[in-house]
Amino acid sequence: MGEVVMLEVNDLNAWYGKSHVLQGVTFQVAEGEIVSLLGRNGVGRSTTVKTIMGEVEPQGSILFKGEQIAGRKSYEIARRGLGYVPENREVFPTLTVRQNLLLGMKSTTPSGRWSIEEVFAMFPLLAERADVPGGALSGGEQQLLSMCRTLMGDPDMVMIDEPTEGLAPKIVEQVGNLLTEIAGRGVSILLVEQKLNIAMRISKRLYIMGHGQVVWEGTPESLNEAGDVRAEWLEV
C-alpha cells in the first residue's frame, strides 16, 4: 500500500462459548484512512472490533502501530491510542455533556488534536446543551457526544460501531461529516456500518464479512460495479 499501516489484523479467531464467531479474519487500516466493515447482521463485524479492543479473547495477531496488542487489557489498548465508540453509545446519563467530554481526556492538560471548544464549535447542538445531563439528549445527540468524547482522548485510530443506527437523516449527515473531519486530521477510522450509502461516500476501502470471515475487499468504486457481491453478501 505504500502507506504507514496503523492496524494489521491477521488470522483473527474468536469464540462465544462454543460458537466460533470469527474464523480467520484478516485486514488492515492505514494511517488517516477510513475503512468500513460491511455485512449483514450476525456475521461478526461487532465481534471483530470488540476482539481488537480486548473485550473478547482473541486468537491470532493484532498489530497496532507495529505492536502486538492481542491479549492486552482494554484500558492498555486505549492508552496506546486506539479509541472505540461502542454501538450502545454508553454516555454517562447523570453527567452533563461537558463532564462527559472531560472524562474522555487522557490527561488534564489538553495537548491533543481536539479541544472541548473545538467540539462545541463543530457541533453547536452540543454547545447549547453543554450543561444538560447526557441522559436527557436524543439518540443522535448521544451518538455525537460519544464520538466526541472518544476524540478527547486524542486517539491515533478510532473504531466506531454502527454510528448511524436509528438516527435522523440530518444527524446521519453530521456523523458522516465528523468522520471525514477526523480522517482529515490523520486519524484512522475503522467503521462498522449498516448503511451502504454512508460507507460508500466516505470510505477509502471496504471489507465485506460473511460467516465470520472477510469475503470481499475493494474500493467503493469496485463495489459499485460488483452487483453479484452486493446481492450475495449485503442485500436483504
Average pLDDT, whole number, for the chain? 92
pLDDT 10s digits, 86-112: 888 789 999 999 999 999 887 666 667
pLDDT, position 108: 65
Q: What percentage of the chain has pLDDT greater than the value 70? A: 97
- Given a cut of 90, whether residue 226 has pLDDT beyond it is yes
What crossing angle do the helices spanning 139-151 and 169-184 adopt, rounded to 10°?
10
Per-residue confidence (pLDDT) for residue 92, from 0 to 100: 94
Per-residue pLDDT, 85: 93
At the fourth CATH level, which superfamily is domain 5-233? P-loop containing nucleotide triphosphate hydrolases (3.40.50.300)
pLDDT of residue 1: 47
**pLDDT, tens digit, for every residue of 156-193?**
999 999 998 888 888 888 889 889 989 998 899 999 99
215 pLDDT exceeds 90?
A: yes
pLDDT digits (tens, 9 = 90+) for 59-96: 999 999 999 999 999 999 999 999 999 888 789 999 99
pLDDT of residue 3: 80
Q: Any long-range contacts for 131-136 (C-beta under 8 Å, 24+ apart)?
A: 131/96, 131/97, 131/98, 132/96, 132/97, 133/93, 133/94, 133/95, 133/96, 134/91, 134/92, 134/93, 134/94, 134/95, 134/96, 134/97, 134/100, 135/91, 135/93, 135/94
Q: For the chain, how are helix, strand and coil distributed in percent, rounded to 5?
A: 35, 30, 35
Domain ranges within the chain, ordered by starting residue: 5-233
Between 21-25, 192-196, 215-219, 225-229, the lowest mean confidence (pLDDT) is in: 192-196
**The amino acid at 26:** T
